[in-house]
Amino acid sequence: MKKHESDIDDLVQKIGAIIEGTKGLEQQAVKLYSVEVETIIRERDRNPQRIEQCLDSMLGFCFDDGMLLLYKKLCRYYYYINPKATVSYVYAYREMWDEQESEESKSE
C-alpha cells in the first residue's frame, strides 16, 4: 500500500510541476502578445491577416485574465475594421471558454 501512496505522491508532484510550467508559459504569452497588440493599435495597422493571426493565436490562452483583456482590446480595435470577422472571434471565444465556465459553475 505504501508503494501505491508513493506513486500517487509522485504523480501529484509531477502534475504540480506541469501546472507551474504552464503558468510561466501563459505569463510569457501575455508579455509577447501585449507588445503585438499595442503595436497593431499604435501603428493603426489594418492588415486583417496580421490581426486575425494574432487573435487566432491568443484564443488558446484566453483562460488567463491578462490574455482575455488583450483579446478583448484587439477585438474592439478590429471591430471598426471588420465587424463580421470580429463577431466570429467573439463567438469563437464563447464556444471555447464560456461553456467551460458554465460547466464549472454547475459543478460548484
Which residue range forms the structural domain that includes residue 12? 2-102
pTM for the predicted model, two decimal places: 0.74
Measured CA to CA, the distance from residue 21 to residue 36 in angstroms comes to 23
73 — pLDDT class (breaks 50, 70, 90): very high
26 in a structural domain: yes
pLDDT at res. 80: 97
Query: Strand, coil or helix: what is 8?
Result: helix
Specify if 107 maps to a domain. no
Per-residue pLDDT for 3 more than 80? no
CA angle 102, 65, 20 (to 5 degrees): 100
| Residue 60 belongs to some domain of the structure | yes
Domain count, the chain: 1
Residue-wise pLDDT tens digits, 12-38: 777 766 666 666 788 889 999 999 999
In-domain check, residue 83: yes
Q: Would 66 be classed as within a structural domain?
A: yes
Within a domain: 108? no
Residues in the chain: 108
pLDDT over threshold 70, residue 72: yes
